[in-house]
């Protein structure tokens, strides 16, 4: 497992974007991997593609590579490419998700020496078509995928929050990342949150049958203020993952192995409490979250301090976490109805939004955010 990812930039003419698996030919892989394996490596002679579970907004395949001779080049890689569902790809385009993830691997991953990430061999975004490709390290032989529909263990939660410290602490109030125009400009984030209000009615039409009345009342009171909420974010500032939930982690299978973080399609600058709240709210049943969250956040805070974060005491950390619970409410209610309907996807959405609603009510997130 590679602890520090390196960007897979290509200095020559851009490699054509593979928008379908059929585009991923032997020649395409030779071009995509040349910066990693070098021009003198034995040539790739055959490729075998196997679809693997992707997210709601992108597809993935695992490519088994055959070479003309012995080589240290990867025997297999994972390729991520756009969804073929118009609704899902349209949502990803509107929110700039494909562009954000390729930019993350180009500009931010090299700054994260202690964070467990898959190595990136090739990263490209086509601004004219909004298509993208990522060719990433295949970690399937040494990890197990997370599943947000299965409750996480408290040990897994602690491991993930420790990895979040490795993400947040090096970039805490960082002038370097604040100088990245694509990341620091809040216009994209403002536009996304301004648009979430329109998702309330279709969300309730599609999923309202699975909700309690106090959930619906919460959604109706806060969704119209999504843009106001995000414009009120205050320092300290970190790079947010933005979709920090169990489906986006790979857990090491060796004893003591930690979590590897994937899927950086929603990175932005913002307060630190959003990612831990989004994670715990989705990963734990409500009763477990209620009993364990304060201890878990206390451990997360101690690790931040040990990593060099200052001027952020536990009370500030806890308040940021409490307010951050609103993020799941805004995101799921505002955007879920735009995503392709699948049995697993719909189950996930109803399960998650119930948890986030209970969390926001438990923690008085509306009051902490000043939206009461």
Interval 144-180: pLDDT, tens: 888 877 888 999 899 999 999 999 999 999 999 999 9
Q: Mind listing the pLDDT tens digit for each residue in 192-201?
A: 899 889 989 9
Q: Does residue 164 share a domain with residue 118?
A: no
Number of domains comprising the chain = 2
| pLDDT of 340 | 67
Cis peptide before 236 (omega within 30 of 0): yes
Q: How far apart are CA 100 and CA 110, in angstroms?
A: 15
Residue 2 lies in a domain: no
Range of the domain at 198: 144-368
Q: How far apart are CA 168 and CA 283, in angstroms?
A: 20
* Secondary structure element (H or E) that encloses residue 80, with its range: strand 76-82
Q: Does residue 173 share a domain with residue 244?
A: yes
3-class DSSP state of 130 = coil
- Tokens describing residue 81: 């490419």
Report the DSSP beta bridge partners of residue 137.
77
Angle between helices 200-207 and 314-335 (to 10 degrees): 80
| pLDDT exceeds 70 at position 134 | yes
Q: How far apart are CA 156 and CA 168, in angstroms?
A: 18
| Candidate from 96-110, 202-216, 280-294 with smallest mean pLDDT | 202-216
Q: Does residue 291 share a domain with residue 181?
A: yes
Q: What is the CATH number of the domain that holds 46?
A: 3.30.200
Q: Does residue 30 share a domain with residue 161?
A: no
| pLDDT of 9 | 40
| pLDDT of 209 | 82
Taking the whole predicted model, whether its pTM rises above 0.85 is answered as yes
Q: Mind listing the pLDDT tens digit for each residue in 305-349?
A: 999 999 999 999 999 999 999 999 998 888 776 666 777 778 888
Q: Which of residues 91, 113, 137 is at a domain's end?
A: 137
Q: How far apart are CA 215 and CA 224, in angstroms?
A: 15
Q: Report the pLDDT averaged over residues 105-121.
A: 95
Q: Does residue 209 share a domain with residue 84?
A: no
Q: Does residue 355 share a domain with residue 222?
A: yes
Report the DSSP beta bridge partners of residue 60.
52, 80
Q: Does residue 165 share a domain with residue 60?
A: no
Q: What is the CATH number of the domain that holds 208?
A: 3.90.1200.10
What are the backbone angles phi and psi of residue 90, rounded to the nearest 5°? -65, -40
Under the banding of pLDDT at 50, 70 and 90, the label for residue 55 is: low
* Count of residues making up the chain: 372
Q: Does residue 193 share a domain with residue 94?
A: no
Q: Does residue 233 share a domain with residue 111?
A: no
Q: How far apart are CA 315 and CA 43, in angstroms?
A: 57
Answer for the pair 119, 5: CB distance below 8 angstroms, yes or no: yes
Q: How far apart are CA 97 and CA 102, in angstroms?
A: 9
| pLDDT exceeds 60 at position 277 | yes
| pLDDT of 5 | 34
Q: Does residue 208 share a domain with residue 121?
A: no
Q: Does residue 170 share a domain with residue 271?
A: yes
Q: How far apart are CA 307 and CA 320, in angstroms?
A: 18
| pLDDT exceeds 90 at position 40 | no
Greater confidence (1 vs 32) lies with 32
Q: Does residue 230 share a domain with residue 103?
A: no
Region for 38 from its dihedrals, namely left if φ exceeds 0, alpha if ψ lies in -120 to 50, beta otherwise: left
Q: Give 12: exposed, middle or buried? Use CB within 10 Å, 0-12, 13-18, 19+.
A: exposed
């Amino acid at each position: 497992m590679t602890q520090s990812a390196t960007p897979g930039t290509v200095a020559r003419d851009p490699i054509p974007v593979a928008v379908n698996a059929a585009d991923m030919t032997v020649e395409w892989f030779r071009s995509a991997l040349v910066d990693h394996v070098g021009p003198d490596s034995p040539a790739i002679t055959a490729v075998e593609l196997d679809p693997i579970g992707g997210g709601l907004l992108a597809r993935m395949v695992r490519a088994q590579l055959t070479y003309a001779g012995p080589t240290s080049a990867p025997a297999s890689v994972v390729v991520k490419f756009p969804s073929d569902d118009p609704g899902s790809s349209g949502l990803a385009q509107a929110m700039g998700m494909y562009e954000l993830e390729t930019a993350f691997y180009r500009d931010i991953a090299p700054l994260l020496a202690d964070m467990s990430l898959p190595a990136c061999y090739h990263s490209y975004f086509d601004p004219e078509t909004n298509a993208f490709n990522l060719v990433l390290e295949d970690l399937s032989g040494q990890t197990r995928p997370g599943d947000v529909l299965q409750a996480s263990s408290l040990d897994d939660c602690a491991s993930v929050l420790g990895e979040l410290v490795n993400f947040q602490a090096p970039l805490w109030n960082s002038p370097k990342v604040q100088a990245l125009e694509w990341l620091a400009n809040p216009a994209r984030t403002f536009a996304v949150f301004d648009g979430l209000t329109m998702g309330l009615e279709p969300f309730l039409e599609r999923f309202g049958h699975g909700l309690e009345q106090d959930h619906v009342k919460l959604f109706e009171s806060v969704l119209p203020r999504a843009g106001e909420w995000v414009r009120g974010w205050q320092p300290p500032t970190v790079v947010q993952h933005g979709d920090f939930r169990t489906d986006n982690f790979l857990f090491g299978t060796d004893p003591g192995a930690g979590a590897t973080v994937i899927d950086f399609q929603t990175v932005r600058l913002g307060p630190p409490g959003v990612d831990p709240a989004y994670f715990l709210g989705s990963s734990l049943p409500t009763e477990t979250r209620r009993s364990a969250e304060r201890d878990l956040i206390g451990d997360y805070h101690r690790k931040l301090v040990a990593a060099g974060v200052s001027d952020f005491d536990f009370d500030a950390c806890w308040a940021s976490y409490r307010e951050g619970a609103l993020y799941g409410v805004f995101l799921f209610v505002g955007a879920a109805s735009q995503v392709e309907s699948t049995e697993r996807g719909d189950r996930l959405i109803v399960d998650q939004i119930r948890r986030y609603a209970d969390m926001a009510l438990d923690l008085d997130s509306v009051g902490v955010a000043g939206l009461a």
